[in-house]
Amino acid sequence: EIVMTQSPVTLSVSPGERATLSCRASQSVTTNLAWYQQRPGQPPRLLIYDASARATGVPARFSGSGSRTEFTLTISSLQSEDFGVYYCQQYHNWPPLTFGQGTKVDIK
């Protein structure tokens, strides 16, 4: 099983500041990596797939980078609506699909 590890666990960022979230895979997933945002009571919202491709309708302030085992999600200028929990997920190999434990982004 590919284990996904996210850091930090919690991130407090002021509006307008940059937020950087990290995700590490226990073995190479090439670029088969997605990032999701989840707000309370909502399903996960796909932000990034294939490590760096923005999903339809996702603002340009969200960007993804990385390959193999190290990945980053950057929010260039945090907006108030960007609060929530962010998950990375690998789809390189199943079973199983695996998710990171999440990074909670708080608006400072």
Partner 1 sequence: EVQLVESGGGLVQPGRSLRLSCAASGFKFDDYAMHWVRQAPGKGPEWVSGISWNSGKIDYADFVEGRFTISRDNAKNSLSLQMNGLRADDTALYYCTNGYTAWGQGTLVTVSS
Residue ranges binding partner 1 (CB under 8 A): 32, 34, 43-44, 46, 49, 55, 85, 87, 89, 91, 94-102
Question: In the complex, what is the shortest distance from the CB of residue 28 to partner 1, in angstroms, rounded to a whole number?
Answer: 17
Nearer to partner 1, 18 or 39 (CB): 39
**CA 47 to each of CA 7, 33, 66, 95: distance values in angstroms, whole numbers, following the listed order:** 18, 11, 15, 23
Nearer to partner 1, 16 or 41 (CB): 41
Query: What SS3 class is residue 81?
Result: helix
Nearer to partner 1, 67 or 102 (CB): 102
Determine the Cα–Cα distance for residues 62 and 29; give it in Å rounded to an integer: 21
